Chain A
Amino acid sequence: MSDESALLGLQDPEFLAELRLQMLKFATLQLKDAVLAEDAVQEAMLGALKNHSAFNRRSALKTWVFAVLKHKIVDLMRQQQRYVSQDTDTDTDTDTNDEAWMDGLFNARGHWYRGQRPVKWQHPEREVENHHFWRVFDICLNALPEHYARFFMMREFLELSTADICHTESISENNLNVTLYRARLKLRQCLDNGWFQKGDTP
């Protein structure tokens, strides 16, 4: 290993372990299969280790590894399409709970309760530089019902079209709209409570 690999963090077991864990969490969330997820992550990591001379800093390496993983996941999702996702309409408990949860945000006429009305976020573009922020984001994402998080990340992180998601997951567009809406509402509120209304870095 050379100086540049040290700079990249390839000799930093802590950096590698954390990167691997993040990728694994993401892949497992998407694929719902620990073994497949493990394989996909393994492949993306090996590719990165082999090509490390192409990167001159850690963040470039990381972006690249995630890009490889994204493509791998999309491929795997297409392959396993016929085996998954018959279970998304069994989440009636989630639906009922969330109806009640939304009644806490909006009054009977469908207007925000005074205390729930969204207040502007200050400088969100600055917060993404703060690694504490990303811990809160992780927590908020993990707090979502499993299929909310999966649909949301397919749409916003993998940047799949809604038509692709409906097809892959065998759900109606209306079903997807409702799920994405609730996922966004919940994430917004969680980030709001956990970060933006808390003032500065803890």
Chain B
Amino acid sequence: MMNCKQATALMSQALDRRLTIAERAELKLHLMMCSGCRNFGQQMHELRDITRLYAKGTSTEKNNDDEP
């Protein structure tokens, strides 16, 4: 049975490679029972989105200059 440490490591790898069918099945089973890891998985995607915005977001301006 997969534990949270293994599940979170696998969710990190899922951002970098395609998981095998067996890995996905085991992960899915774990996530059905574990809200903490479900939240973690969601946050991994959010972390990726945030990081991609890093260059645009580290601004000192207040985003009120978007009118042409």
Contact = CB atoms under 8 A, between A and B. Distances in A.
A and B: bona fide binding partners: yes
Interface of A: 7, 9, 14-15, 18, 22, 56-59, 62-63, 66-67, 102, 106, 109-112, 117-121, 124-125, 128-129, 131, 133-134, 137-138, 152-153, 155-157, 159, 162, 176-177, 180-181, 184-185, 187-188, 191
A177 B60 contact: no
Interface string B31-52: 0000111011011101111111
Nearest to A22: B58
B63 A129 contact: yes
B65 A7 contact: yes
A162 B48 contact: no
Nearest to B51: A156
B22 to A, nearest CB: 17
9 contacts: A56-B68, A111-B3, A117-B36, A118-B40, A118-B43, A129-B63, A131-B57, A134-B54, A181-B8
Given A128-B50, A157-B54, A62 B59 contact: yes
Interface in B1-46: 3-6, 8-9, 12-13, 15-17, 35-37, 39-40, 42-44, 46
A7 B65 CA distance: 8
B55 A62 contact: yes
A109 B16 contact: no
Contacts of A176: 16
Contact of A120 (B15, B17, B42): B42
Contact of B59 (A58, A67, A138, A152): A58
Contacts of B13: 177, 181
Nearest to A138: B58
Given A59-B66, A134-B57, A188-B40, 18 more contacts: A15-B61, A57-B68, A110-B5, A111-B3, A112-B37, A117-B36, A117-B39, A118-B39, A118-B40, A121-B43, A125-B49, A128-B53, A155-B16, A156-B51, A157-B51, A177-B9, A181-B12, A184-B12
Contact of B50 (A112, A137, A155, A177): A137
A67 B54 CA distance: 12
A110 B57 contact: no
A162 B66 contact: no
A128 B51 CA distance: 10
Contacts of A59: 56, 59, 61, 63, 65-66
